[in-house]
Amino acid sequence: MIKNLQQTAMTKGENIALIFEGKKWTYRELMTSIERFADGLVNEGFQAGDHIALILGNSPHFVISFFGALKAGLVVVPINPTYTPSEIGYMLITGDVKGIVAPEQLLPVYEQVYEQLPSIERVIICAENESACRSSFKEVSDRLVFFGKLVSGAANENVHPSIQPDDTAVILFTSGTTGKPKGAMLTHFNLYSNARDVAEYLSIDKKDKVIAALPMFHVFCLTVCMNAPLIHGATIYVLPHFSPSELLRMMEKEKPTLFIGVPTMYNYLYRQEGHEGAMSSVRICISGGASMPVALLHGFEKKFGVTVLEGYGLSEASPVTAFNPLDGKRKPGSVGTDIMNVKNKIVNELGEEVGPNEVGELIAKGPNIMKGYYQMPEDTEAALRDGWLYTGDLARRDEEGYIYIVDRKKDMILVGGYNVYPREVEEVLYQHEAVAEAVVIGVPDPNTGEAVVCYISPKKHAHINQEDIITHCSRYLAKYKQPQTIHFIDDIPKNTTGKILRRALREKYQAEESK
């Protein structure tokens, strides 16, 4: 990826690469900052192969840190900055992280866990006032380095390592069915190939203006909103957060050509009053992360006069494997067909391809597929078989090759495009002293796609209420993972072998909601 960005900077140096809160960076200016950041990392003692975590929201800091770390031969570990200290600490330890790039606001979180993180040698802080920052966080002051200093110094003669296509570029943590996050290792070529193929599939070029409203630490934004546009000289509008009203006003003013979002975002935009002409300049909208209700798709397209293309992907595939065609037939409710250089297949339990409209597990193969999970050989062996990635999603394919996601093979819940795994939430619930049994399910939600609901069987004579559970969960789980509804029941339904019947709980929930 970094070599491709360098080539773009050489040929399209004066094109605008980034726009953030009114400030613009040309490709040449962006590349200069990236090279200085890479030099700064080397000067601070980082070596090729070291792991560096980016705990950042959407900003030029993320883009510069990401490519600067890659240029220095480091492995980038993007982490959601809204995670709790325990969640962040787990990923830093499991990911063997040596350095962190974070905003000043995250320093209190770091102070809570730094004693458990002796491997962290440098914390690169994005802050305006260095002296005030050091005086406020004296205990960790010796580890602090300031982002501004790294990118403002003169370029030096550091020789950066030769990067091989199969070298690991990124470790993306994605929760596993056991509740323990797994780090998917994506190589430089994994990232480049998917960005290249997505850009070609969507005909992205230097005339495009792309909105990056999705979080950059998420692979969907990383590839489709950042990498794909940057290797073709397009302009990226970096939004620090998603606000439907502000986004629509920005569209009316800046005239973007591409918008990428998850169904939740489309739902919020659709519900905004007015602004029907806000997307007059948008040539295509992309939706992923979860299935978009067909009624919402049709309503959105009618209101704004745009076409929405749905696709499919997952972190382990960098992430895109399928898209509805830009110029061919588009089928609402389908995630489309194979993108170029990627093959999707639907198989039965024996790994044999099934026929048209038969349901099976969706598997994928291509240059975008991860090399494995970091230090998890058993999980890697289960996910990668004979070069195919087993996604765990159930799907069917029609006679024309269009893929429809039927259900998730595992019990994953999608909240606003983010993965929530019941076991992870259940593990937290079981830590509460009054909880005897706990089961987490996903239920439909008009705003976020799905919501987390838990059923709890309390211990005998225990005193427990919803507020206790909400407070308990907020200590250990990011907000989107926390249960939105809590039910207390005497007995959790099970079959004769003792297996919990999640379907029975879903049916129970639906029956109660319909009363």
The pLDDT score that the predictor gives to residue 498 is 56
The pLDDT score that the predictor gives to residue 176 is 47
Q: For residue 296, what are its two tokens?
A: 């919402």
The 10s digit of each residue's pLDDT in 64-93 is 999 999 999 999 999 999 888 888 999 999
Range list of β-strands (E), 307-373: 308-313, 320-323, 337-338, 343-347, 360-365, 372-373
Per the CB < 8 A criterion, the answer to whether 64 and 41 are in contact is no
Distance between CA 234 and CA 258 in Å, rounded? Answer: 10
Please state which CATH number belongs to domain 413-513. 3.30.300.30
pLDDT-flagged residues of the chain (< 70)? 154-158, 175-179, 407-408, 495-499
Please state which CATH number belongs to domain 28-163. 3.40.50.980
Distance between CA 12 and CA 16 in Å, rounded? Answer: 9
Q: Which 8-state DSSP code applies to residue 459? A: P
Residues 6+ away with beta carbon under 8 Å from 150: 36, 37, 39, 40, 41, 44, 124
CATH 3.30.300.30 in the chain, residue ranges: 413-513
**pTM of the predicted model, to two decimals?**
0.86
* Cα 323-325-327 angle, rounded to 5 deg: 160
Per the CB < 8 A criterion, the answer to whether 224 and 198 are in contact is yes
The 10s digit of each residue's pLDDT in 92-117 is 999 999 999 999 999 888 887 788 88
The pLDDT score that the predictor gives to residue 178 is 44
CATH 3.40.50.980 in the chain, residue ranges: 28-163
Distance between CA 261 and CA 129 in Å, rounded? Answer: 35
